[in-house]
């Protein structure tokens, strides 16, 4: 794919051709981005058991994975038995071992094979190939991430987030009652495109628009993501950034962070809503919402209120854009230089995939 498919000058650039949203070959190429980036697992406080499967990462990466906790040592292991390829763990457990339900091969929480019946006569057994592969794992501000093969350290990816809102991230509590898993009839990039611009808010989200100040929306692009900032309308709930924050004195209603390629951290005065975008086919997507609450008393107020309604409004848009992408009458459009810097940045990143 050529980088020049999307001109670096947004004033001249055309959006991605519709085939990027409808073609299976493009879709499989795009999936490479998920294996070479950091992926969200959850907050450390969510994992209450010694062994926890990670089904959303299986769906995202086509890689069955399991999180193990052996004392203070957390690992992300393959959840595939090294004997005949059976997926082993299907629910959380406090057992300190993983046992394959097919032939009984047993592994420790460090991934090392401990026991295998019927192999007494096998020569040169076991070898390193009989242990479970271990994947990269990292923690950041109480959240956990993993990667198959990241090209950059997690801290470098999230440094702009920490610099901007690190002061707010203490004291977040996971609230399982607010979990949502949405299935959408649209290509995953259309969901990201929609997220990366506030241009549509006055037309699609009347309630959210009322909570935001007129012309109070800004976009900043970073190497690994995009930040959108919404200013609060008069009288609406907002942050109180500290004096050393670049946002001190501003009435900010929300920080919308997108981290390439599929993570969104929506930061409101009540806490953080994390969206994880999981492509399930070229024309279907699952979006996971997970909430981490700091001020429960603010949950129904401001830009962070009525998130379910906002989500359904967004789904109407992206599903109808998906229909349009299949139309013979549409191939590609143009970007608004004023409002769509984030979409342009995302498309440039996707066309640089190797």
For strands 252-259 and 173-174, give the pairing. unpaired
Q: Please check the confidence at residue 2 and state whether its pLDDT lies above 60.
A: no
DSSP letters along 190-205, please? HHHHHHT-STTHHHH-
What is the SS3 assignment for 228?
A: strand
Q: Which residues contact 113 (CB under 8 A, 6 or more apart)?
A: 82, 105, 106, 107, 126, 130, 131, 132
Give pLDDT tens digits for 195-221.
Answer: 999 999 999 999 999 999 988 899 999
* Beta-strand runs (E) in 199-283: 212-222, 225-232, 252-259, 263-268, 271-281
pLDDT score recorded for residue 214: 85
Average pLDDT, the chain: 95
Question: Measured in whole angstroms, how far is the alpha carbon of residue 175 from the centre of its chain?
Answer: 18
Let me know: does 226 contact 196? Beta carbons within 8 Å.
yes
**Cis peptide upstream of residue 79 (ω within 30 degrees of 0):** no
Dist CA 18 CA 173 (whole Å): 41
Q: Please check the confidence at residue 105 and state whether its pLDDT lies above 50.
A: yes
Asked if 3-31+160-350 and 39-147 have one fold, the answer is: no
pLDDT score recorded for residue 3: 47
**What is 39-147's CATH number, 3.40.50.11540, 2.60.120.10, 3.55.50.30, 2.102.10.10?**
2.102.10.10
Let me know: does 100 contact 77? Beta carbons within 8 Å.
no
Dist CA 222 CA 260 (whole Å): 10
DSSP letters along 282-340, please? TTEEEEEEEEEES-GGGTTSGGGS-HHHHHHHHHHHHHHHHHHHT-TT----B--TTT-
Give pLDDT tens digits for 284-343.
Answer: 999 999 999 999 999 999 999 999 999 999 999 999 999 999 999 999 999 999 999 999
pLDDT score recorded for residue 353: 75
Which has the higher per-residue pLDDT, 151 or 23? 23
**Band (354; pLDDT cuts 50, 70, 90):** low
pLDDT score recorded for residue 1: 42
- What ranges in the chain are assigned the alpha helix state H? 19-22, 24-30, 32-35, 55-61, 154-165, 188-195, 201-204, 206-211, 307-325, 341-350
CATH architecture type of domain 3-31+160-350? Alpha-Beta Complex (3.90)
Q: Name residue 93's beta-bridge partners.
A: 51
Which of these ranges, 24-33, 53-62, 118-127, 345-354, has the smallest mean pLDDT?
Answer: 345-354
pLDDT score recorded for residue 72: 80
pTM of the model: 0.94
Domain borders along the chain are 3-31+160-350, 39-147
Q: Find the helix or strand (DSSP H, E) in which 138 lies.
A: strand 134-140
């Amino acid at each position: 794919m050529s980088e020049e498919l999307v001109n670096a000058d947004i004033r001249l650039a055309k959006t991605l051709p519709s085939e990027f949203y409808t073609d299976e070959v493009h879709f499989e190429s795009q999936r490479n981005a998920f294996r070479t980036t950091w992926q969200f697992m959850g907050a450390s406080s969510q994992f209450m058991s010694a062994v926890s499967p990670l089904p959303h990462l299986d769906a995202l990466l086509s890689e069955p994975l399991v999180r193990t906790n052996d004392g203070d040592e957390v690992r992300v292991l393959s959840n595939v038995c090294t004997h005949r390829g059976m997926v082993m763990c299907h629910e959380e457990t406090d057992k300190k071992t993983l046992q394959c339900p097919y032939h009984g091969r047993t592994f420790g929480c460090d991934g090392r094979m401990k026991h295998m019946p019927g192999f007494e006569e096998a020569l040169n057994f076991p070898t390193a190939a009989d242990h479970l592969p271990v994947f990269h794992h990292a923690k950041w501000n109480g959240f956990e991430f993993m990667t198959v093969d990241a090209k950059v350290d997690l801290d470098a990816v999230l440094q702009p987030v920490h610099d901007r809102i690190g002061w707010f991230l203490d004291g977040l509590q996971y609230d399982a009652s607010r979990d949502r898993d949405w299935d959408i009839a649209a290509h995953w990039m259309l969901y990201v495109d929609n997220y990366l611009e506030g241009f549509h808010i006055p037309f699609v989200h009347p309630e959210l628009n009322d909570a935001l100040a007129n012309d109070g929306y800004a976009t900043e692009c970073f190497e690994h993501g995009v930040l959108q900032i919404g200013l609060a309308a008069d009288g609406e709930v907002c942050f109180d950034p500290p004096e050393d924050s670049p946002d001190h004195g501003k009435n900010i209603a929300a920080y919308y962070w997108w981290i390439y390629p599929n993570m969104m951290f929506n930061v409101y005065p009540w806490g953080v809503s994390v969206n994880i975008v999981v492509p399930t086919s070229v024309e279907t997507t699952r979006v996971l919402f997970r909430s981490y609450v700091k001020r429960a008393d603010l949950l129904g107020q401001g830009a962070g209120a009525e998130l379910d309604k906002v989500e359904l409004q967004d789904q109407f848009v992206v599903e109808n854009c998906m229909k349009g992408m299949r139309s013979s009458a549409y191939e590609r459009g143009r970007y608004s230089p004023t409002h769509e810097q984030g979409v342009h940045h995302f498309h440039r990143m996707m066309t640089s995939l190797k």
